[in-house]
Structures are given as structure tokens and as C-alpha cells.
């Protein structure tokens, strides 16, 4: 079937599945958390992670002020938590109290690490750009927290041990089907 073509790409949205992260931060004597689908691991050496945060988000000011954030990846069982922190603003509620979010102590920064995360990176902001209607914060990874038991060969996620949260539209969550896992023969031997 022929593909439709549009110049209004935003109508299409971003329907392809990806893991929604929860970015946490600490400033002004309090913690906050935001659902974040716009992120990218950008560099190995130095280890850098980028996140796109809208300037209207309460989190934006807290990250800018503290110069720190943690990025947390969660299992499908935490889908409600991800949506909850993406549905309300820290301006109006303390999300950690309201949603009873369990945390663990960070080792390098002051932003909390989520207890339910299977991997989380503590990042210090080393650069920032305005890109379109978002700010792109570049964070240097100072520490990584991970559940060793959910990683298998070559540190790939073991889908027998963890069902990562993915989403295809803001409120439509899914996970990876482990029966679909296959090793692909690359062109390089
Ligand atoms: C799945 C999902 C992904 C989201 N991704 C982003 C994102 O990448 N950047 C962003 O600024 N907001 C994103 N949002 C919206 C914020 O999470 C939402 O506006 C949140 O309530 C802001 O909270 P705050 O005002 O406490 O910062 C996303 C929301 C959801 C549900």
C-alpha cells in the first residue's frame, strides 16, 4: 500500500515504541520527577546523556538551577507511575508523596534514584542548548545504578528477568515480547 505523505509531521506524532524515562531532580529543597520520552545516549567517552525538557515544565527550572538530573528506566509494572509523573506538575503537587514513590540515595548528585528503576544514571549538566521549543540538557554520567540480575550476555537486557516499559502513544504502554527475540546475522563477520 502506498504511504501517505504530510508536511505536518506533528499530526503523526511519534508512534514507534520507545522506553519512557523518568527524570528526577532536586533543587529548592525538594525533589521532582518528570516523564521524559525525548532523550538520547550521545557519547561513550566522555559518557554523555541528553534530555529534551520544555521550558514551561517545572522540572526545567529545577534542572537549570541544580545543574543535575538522574534518568531512570522502569519496568512495565511502573507504567502508572510514569504516566502519573507526566500528568501533573511539581508546581502543584509533591509527586513523591502523592504517588508514594520509593527512592534510593544517589552517590554523586542530589537527585533521587527511583527504587523501581532497573537502570538509572546520575548526571551533571555540562551543556545546554535551546532546540526548537525544548531545552536540550547534556549530562555527564557520574554514576550508573543497575540491577545486575536483569542483564545477560554483553549487558543486554534479559527479557526473562525484566519487562521494560515502552510506549507507543502518551497513554498506550506495552512491553517487549521475549518470544520475538532473534539474533540477526550482521554483514560483518
Ligand atoms: C510518556 C510521556 C513522555 C513525556 N516526555 C516529555 C519530554 O521528553 N519532555 C518534556 O518536557 N515533557 C515530556 N512529557 C510531559 C511532562 O512529563 C509533563 O508535562 C509533566 O507533568 C511535567 O512535570 P513538571 O511540571 O513537574 O516538570 C512527557 C509526558 C509523558 C506522559
In this prediction, residue 184 carries a pLDDT of 93
For the stretch 29-71, pLDDT in tens is 999 999 999 999 999 999 999 999 999 999 999 999 999 999 9
Pocket test for ligand 1, best of 34, 96, 168 (most atoms within 8 A of CB): 34
Percent of the chain scored above 90 by pLDDT?
92
For residue 170, the model assigns a pLDDT of: 83
Strand order through the sheet with 68-73 = 30-36, 21-27, 68-73, 119-131, 134-146, 48-53, 39-43
pLDDT of residue 189: 65
Average pLDDT of the chain is 96
Regarding the beta carbon of 18 and ligand 1, being less than 6 Å apart is answered no
Identify whether 7 is part of a domain.
no
Residue 5 Cα to ligand 1 midpoint, Å, equals: 28
* Cis amide leading into 46 (omega within 30): yes
Q: Count how many residues are written for the chain.
A: 189
Cβ atoms of 76 and 162 within 8 Å: the answer is: no
**How many domains does the chain contain in total?**
1
Mean pLDDT on 19-26: 98
CATH code of the domain covering residue 130? 2.30.110.10
- pLDDT tens digits, 111-139: 999 999 999 999 999 999 999 999 999 99
Q: By percentage, how much of the chain surpasses pLDDT 70? A: 99
In this predicted structure, the answer to whether residue 23 has a pLDDT above a threshold of 80 is yes
Q: Where are the alpha helices (DSSP H) in the chain?
A: 9-12, 58-66, 79-87, 95-98
The pTM for the full model equals: 0.97
pLDDT at 9 exceeding the cut of 90: no
Task: State the pLDDT confidence band at 155, using cuts at 50, 70 and 90.
Answer: very high
Q: How far apart are CA 2 and CA 73, in angstroms?
A: 37
- Quick one: pLDDT at residue 180? 94
Domain membership flag for residue 187:
no
**What is the residue range of 47's domain?**
15-180
Average pLDDT estimate for 14-35: 95
How far, in Å, from the CA of 11 to the mean position of ligand 1? 19
Is 140 within the bounds of a domain? yes
Nearest CA residue ID for atom 30, ligand 1: 86
Residue 6 located in a structural domain = no
Site to probe by mutation for ligand 1, drawn from 35, 82, 167 as the one with most ligand atoms within 8 Å of Cβ, is 35
Angle at 81 between CA 15 and CA 91, to 5 degrees: 100
Residue bearing the bigger pLDDT, 10 or 164: 164
86 CA: nearest ligand 1 atom: 17
- Helices and strands in the chain, H and E counts: 4, 11
Helices (H), 34-178: 58-66, 79-87, 95-98
Q: Which of 4-13, 77-86, 143-152 has the lowest mean pLDDT?
A: 4-13
Question: Does residue 4 form part of some domain?
Answer: no
The answer as to whether 1 is a domain residue is no
**How far apart are the C-alpha atoms of 137 and 39, rounded to whole Å?**
9
SS3 category, 45: coil
The residue contributing the CA closest to ligand 1 atom 2 is 35
Q: Classify residue 3: in a domain, yes or no.
A: no
> Ligand 1 in contact with 83 (CB < 6 A)?
yes
> Is position 185 within any domain?
no
Amino acid at each position: 500500500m502506498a504511504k501517505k505523505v504530510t508536511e505536518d509531521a506533528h499530526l503523526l506524532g511519534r508512534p514507534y515504541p520507545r522506553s519512557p524515562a523518568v527524570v528526577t531532580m532536586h533543587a529548592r529543597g525538594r525533589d521532582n520527577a518528570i516523564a521524559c520520552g525525548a532523550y538520547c545516549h550521545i557519547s561513550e567517552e566522555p559518557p554523555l546523556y541528553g534530555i529534551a525538557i520544555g521550558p514551561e515544565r517545572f522540572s526545567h527550572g529545577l534542572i537549570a538551577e541544580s545543574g543535575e538530573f538522574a534518568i531512570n528506566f522502569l519496568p512495565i509494572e511502573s507504567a502508572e507511575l510514569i504516566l502519573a509523573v507526566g500528568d501533573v506538575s511539581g508546581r502543584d503537587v509533591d509527586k513523591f508523596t502523592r504517588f508514594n514513590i520509593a527512592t534510593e540515595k544517589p552517590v554523586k548528585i542530589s537527585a533521587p534514584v527511583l527504587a523501581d528503576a532497573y537502570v538509572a544514571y546520575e548526571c551533571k549538566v555540562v551543556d545546554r542548548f535551546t532546540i526548537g521549543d525544548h531545552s536540550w540538557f547534556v549530562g555527564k554520567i557520574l554514576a550508573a545504578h543497575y540491577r545486575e540480575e536483569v542483564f545477560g550476555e554483553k549487558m543486554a537486557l534479559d527479557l526473562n528477568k525484566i519487562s521494560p516499559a515502552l510506549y507507543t502513544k502518551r497513554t498506550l504502554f506495552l512491553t517487549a515480547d521475549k518470544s520475538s527475540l532473534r539474533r540477526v546475522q550482521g554483514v560483518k563477520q
